[in-house]
């Protein structure tokens, strides 16, 4: 009996010693995981940008500017058509952008069937990717908050600051109001741009007048959006936008001959007095409206985001302030996309 008890005592002591020896590596391993977890749990900032055929260099420059000016954990959602996705993938993977976190998303233009009224005056405004912003929750389903950017922008500030834009309760999106920045008013007047609803909707139509929106109400620009997708889905924003697209097909309530083409008016209607505002320095626009009108260099250096909305794009000629855009452009490794410059 004594021998059995002694054997049990020896086995107990050995088990205790074994556990003590093997607990140290386990504790160290757990500590290592804990040290890494803050980085792993760092909030992702989803940024949606379209890569359209013929202007993929724009998306590349926008992505390059964002990535170079932030330490935030940015996840790029690059939306394209089936035929363009292989090109943008090779461009990213064979350039200095290969370090970015990105997902390629294919946009199916069939969702637009019967919802776009054909207009020959500015056919580029009818391209399917112009309507990606209408379908954000369907394309980017796992995030609550996202940033959408037009491809003809560059970002000079930290994208984290834009992402931190506060949205009021019940608001599904934040935009920049077109009357918000006195520095742009002179340019708006000088080139005849519209910054009210009169410039986007046809007030001769009864359906437009029935909205009860004054034609002198300030419009907003949906080229930069901070969106709350939970609220977007709750309010069925996509369905509301589609309703106005279909009504325009039937009644011609707006057209691309007016201020912002056919993608802006549905958003102006649906989000009227139901959106939050973005810091105006995070959306300095109209750089592509005229090849002859320029902002001051000091003003542009202070800007957080520059937008070449309009016909005159910085990868084409003529255009203005192209040096600021070219700072972030990365040449196409395949050589398919080329800048248009006077010397070329």
**Is the model's pLDDT at 38 over the cut of 50?**
no
Per-residue pLDDT reduced to its tens digit, 190-201: 555 568 898 889
**Is the model's pLDDT at 262 over the cut of 80?**
yes
Average pLDDT, the chain: 86
- What's 54's DSSP letter? T
**Looking at residues 320-329, what average pLDDT do you find?**
97
**Is the model's pLDDT at 295 over the cut of 60?**
yes
Closest CA to 310 of 254, 269, 255, 259: 259
Encoding tokens for residue 215?
Answer: 């034609």
**Looking at residues 272-284, what average pLDDT do you find?**
96
Per-residue pLDDT reduced to its tens digit, 230-246: 999 999 999 999 999 99
Instruction: Give me the pLDDT at residue 164, please.
Output: 98
- H or E stretch at 226: strand 220-228
The structure's pTM equals 0.85
Closest CA to 184 of 73, 316, 307: 307
45-174+221-250+275-327: CATH number = 3.90.550.10
**Is the model's pLDDT at 29 over the cut of 60?**
no
- The percentage of residues in the chain with a pLDDT greater than 90, rounded to a whole number, is 69
Instruction: Give me the pLDDT at residue 332, please.
Output: 97
Of the pLDDT bands very low, low, confident and very high (cuts 50, 70, 90), residue 59 is very high
**Is the model's pLDDT at 119 over the cut of 60?**
yes
Closest CA to 274 of 228, 223, 243: 228
- What's 111's DSSP letter? G
Of the pLDDT bands very low, low, confident and very high (cuts 50, 70, 90), residue 23 is very low
**Partner residues linked to 147 by β-bridges:** 47, 226
Encoding tokens for residue 303?
Answer: 């800007």
217 CB-contact burial (10 Å; exposed 0-12 / middle 13-18 / buried 19+):
middle
Instruction: Give me the pLDDT at residue 195, please.
Output: 83
Instruction: Give me the pLDDT at residue 318, please.
Output: 96
Q: Which residues contact 325 (CB under 8 A, 6 or more apart)?
A: 61, 154, 306, 308, 314, 315
Query: Structural domain boundaries of the chain?
Result: 45-174+221-250+275-327
Instruction: Give me the pLDDT at residue 284, please.
Output: 93
Sign of the torsion formed by the C-alpha atoms of 311, 172, 177 and 282: negative
**Looking at residues 123-140, what average pLDDT do you find?**
88
Q: At what angle do helices 56-68 and 85-93 cross, to 10 degrees?
A: 40
Encoding tokens for residue 132?
Answer: 């990606």
Of the pLDDT bands very low, low, confident and very high (cuts 50, 70, 90), residue 292 is confident
């Amino acid at each position: 009996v004594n021998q059995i008890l002694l054997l049990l005592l020896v086995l107990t002591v050995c088990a205790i010693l074994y556990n003590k020896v093997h607990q140290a590596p386990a504790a160290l391993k757990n500590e290592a995981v804990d040290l890494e977890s803050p980085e792993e749990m760092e909030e992702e900032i989803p940024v949606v940008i379209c890569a359209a055929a013929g202007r993929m260099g724009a998306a590349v420059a926008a992505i390059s500017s964002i990535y170079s000016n932030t330490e935030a954990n940015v996840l790029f959602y690059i939306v394209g058509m089936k035929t363009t996705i292989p090109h943008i993938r090779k461009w990213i993977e064979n350039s200095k952008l290969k370090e970015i976190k990105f997902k390629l998303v294919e946009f199916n233009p069939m969702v637009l069937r019967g919802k776009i009224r054909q207009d020959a005056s500015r056919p580029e405004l009818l391209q399917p990717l112009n309507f990606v912003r209408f379908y954000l929750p369907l394309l980017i389903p796992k995030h609550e908050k996202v940033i959408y950017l037009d491809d003809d922008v560059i970002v000079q500030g930290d994208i984290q600051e834009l992402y931190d834009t506060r949205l009021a309760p019940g608001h599904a999106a934040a935009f920049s109001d077109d009357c918000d920045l006195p520095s742009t008013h002179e340019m708006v007047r000088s080139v005849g741009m519209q910054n009210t609803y009169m410039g986007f909707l046809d007030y001769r139509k009864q359906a437009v007048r029935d909205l009860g929106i004054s034609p002198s109400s300030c419009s907003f620009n949906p080229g930069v959006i901070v969106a709350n997708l939970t609220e977007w889905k709750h309010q069925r924003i996509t369905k509301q936008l589609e309703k106005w697209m279909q009504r325009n097909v039937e009644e011609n309530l707006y057209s691309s001959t007016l201020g912002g083409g056919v993608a802006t008016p549905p958003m102006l209607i649906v989000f009227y007095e139901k959106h939050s505002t973005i810091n105006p320095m995070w959306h300095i626009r109209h750089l592509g409206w005229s090849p002859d009108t320029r902002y001051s260099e000091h003003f542009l250096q202070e800007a957080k985001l520059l937008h070449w909305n309009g016909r005159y794009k910085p990868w084409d000629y003529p255009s203005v302030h192209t040096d600021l855009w070219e700072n972030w452009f990365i040449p196409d490794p395949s050589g398919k996309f080329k800048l248009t410059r006077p010397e070329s």
